[in-house]
Amino acid sequence: MSTVSWIGLGKLGLTCALVLEKHGGHHVVGYDPSTRPAEILSGQSPPPQEEGIEALLAGSGLELADSPAAAVAATDGVVFVAVQTPHSAAYGGEAPMPEEPRDFEYQFLVQAVRDICRAAAEQAKSITVNVVSTCLPGTVNRLIRPLLNEWTTLVYNPAFIAMGTTIADYLNPEFVLLGADDPADVEPVLAIHHTIHDRPAQVMGIESAELTKVAYNVVISTKIVVANALMEICHKTGADCDDVADALAAATDRVVSAKYMRGGMGDGGHCHPRDLIAMSWLAQRLDLSTDVLGYMARAREAQSGWLADLVQQWTEQTGLDVMILGKAYKPGSDLTGGSPALLLAHQLKERGVTFDHRDPYTDPHPRGVDDLPNRQQRVFVIATRHPVFLNYRFPPGSVVIDPHGYIPDQSGVTTIRVGRKS
């Protein structure tokens, strides 16, 4: 049995700490500035409305420390930090969103980590500070990393739970998310998780983990918004939204799957972009509450425009001409209907960027690698994920902009894998 410390014993923190104690067999030492955790543990106050929490509280030996320093002193090496990172009431979703969005409030998290790191240094004790609190990407680098010292190692490990089912969700997560500077840093935290389940771990950099946590919720919200837009259309046309949803849910190869979840070029094909535009027309005709489908069509164009800006920046910075590689929307094919590669070319032309545009599958006389005229240095844009481009040898001094992230490094060539660290 190991001793685990847990800072922040709110609705999530207390429940998860009790899970580690009961199901993981750990001795848990917790700290919270509020008196409520002590009142719950002693039966003076009701616990959070969580299914199964009474069984966790029965006979619990969770120990309460009187300070963060005492919690640090007690741990065998890992300190979980699950303090709140709240929004003000106006940003909680209970009322219409204010005109200006706002980041979370991080003062409680910063103070907690500051106290933990100071205690580790004073005690000359090496610990892993395992942050569970939700943060937007970049927060750890901006606010938390400066608090660390030689005695502290940082792991970002947010939980994917829903209030009311926290116990079941923590015991059986879809995956464990772990962010760290060095993959080896997560081992003490992962070992604790493995005492309560055998679910897989997704290990990545801290910024990626911060984004994954909030992106998880954003994707769920997006599904709900789209489902409710379809519900409005059904109400106004006589269709049945449950029939539609059941049919879409059966499409587990494409719709309900990991497909189309990779960053790259925009949607393409003879159906997809035009369907969004047509649905936008229908939304206006039916006077829907929001034209979310039209927004998606405009978002597709705006995202392509951002990529066009990136290409323009690199050609202006280097003085090199541009060559777009790929016209088709589908790898290994000559299909160009609705192609995002052609949209990108159109947008570059609008910006006054001159370019050559080649595709070995669509051009009259495909020549493969010899299709790079005179082997000139260029800013090459990989607009289609054709497998043949993996065999291209780009002239040294060239820049390759790869939204798909699949072109390998080549000596003397600057490869920009858009949105990726390497």
Dihedral (C-alpha) 112, 117, 123, 128: value to the nearest 10 degrees?
A: 100
Cα–Cα distance between 398 and 395 in angstroms, integer?
6
User: What pLDDT sits at residue 111?
Assistant: 97
Quote the pLDDT of residue 298. Answer: 87
Q: Are 161 and 170 in contact (CB under 8 A)?
A: yes
pLDDT mean by block of 10 residues, the chain; 422 residues = 94 96 97 96 93 95 97 98 86 74 91 98 98 94 97 97 92 97 97 96 96 90 87 89 92 87 86 81 88 86 93 97 94 90 95 95 67 78 95 95 94 94 72
Listed residue (383, 381, 422, 375) closest to 401, CA to CA: 381
Of 406, 419, 400, whose CA–CA distance to 318 is shortest? 400
pLDDT at residue number 269: 83
Report yes or no: 47 and 64 within 8 Å, Cβ to Cβ: no
Give the distance, in angstroms, between the CA of residue 419 and the centroid of all CA atoms in the same chain: 12
- Give me the pLDDT at residue 369, please: 46
Domains of the chain in start order, with CATH, are: 3-206 (3.40.50.720), 303-417 (3.40.50.720)
**Predicted TM-score of the model (pTM):** 0.82
